[in-house]
Structure 1
């Protein structure tokens, strides 16, 4: 349950995906509950923001981000001892993130994705449009994992023109993700696992009929983030150097 609350557009928010995972609910049911809330109260619109994130197969899916008030409204209907514990964890996470934002502390990254974005911003100020800074071993030893779609956003922040779907395709083409269609499609290849570039996160989902299914999601490790970002930045640097030589 890492990163219960994240910073998005300088606001502390959580996502419908994260809520579904933490409270053991199907994502479609969380989306339904949010839509019902929005129908009942016209003034709660600003509490929710609609976005998209790729699923484990690289396909876009609807995600709703919510601030503290939106989460509070939604979680009112979640009952049970476990649910109460998760609510308290969320309250603590919102408090920490909002304190960082209010005090300017969000300048100090709290997640690996934020750290990489901050590093990208600093590199751009030093050398506009020609990033030279490669990420250090401290990234590789981080225990924080991110989705492949989040890695694509970090790459775009570093000047790499790539989206989530194209990044999934590139990883399949280059042997990092399994390309054959089936239950293991977009799962890490043995090569990737040997390099410790990915981890597979398994989430148990309980259904109303009593059955339990397991959802598998490929996540990029700290070492994997360093590996792929440096790989793409190295290409940009080579292209930039070639351009300089041609025009010098």
Structure 2
């Protein structure tokens, strides 16, 4: 069967026809807008037809591409318009649509479409799993490490810039600086020891300000909160 008008199919298996292609196939003499206004009076917008955003690309006479107003029609709406034309061409196009529907609804094609839809869903699921796998593996690292580490090491483990990580901790009030913008990082008390621990020490007998270390639980929490919010399940 020769293809008179292209039948388009979306991911949900719904078929449609370009109103402008139908207009050209019917060999209508009047302007497209006037023709469609007259023929769409018996149709329901968003049920029998929808507008095509941006229009349909058409090659102009000088080789440039023009985007012309168009509508997407259901096959039933296209059959109705063809029949309303009352011309031999209209009857030919209507019979063409009827034959297309017969083939479309054959058991073989219905099975083929079902398999294609199932395959597309499977590919989508596989891509989602592949995207989430690195995140899941990184969460395992936090647990396996089993010890608190410094902010620099934590940023490296999460694979983000240290300054960016620190800014997130400061802006979200998990840490503060002890003496202005250049002071040492210190945790708010309510997050110790759940997210942070303080490591004290001394050099040559002189004690220094306790170093802030982030616990495995804290690193997992901050990773999810700042960089994988779709995995966020924990609460403070």
For the aligned pair, the TM-score class normalised by the smaller chain equals 0.3 to 0.5
TM-score by length of 1: 0.37
Instruction: Choose between structure 1 and 2 for higher RCO, CA contacts under 8 A separated by at least 6 residues.
Output: 1
Bigger radius of gyration, 1 or 2? 2
TM-score by length of 2: 0.39
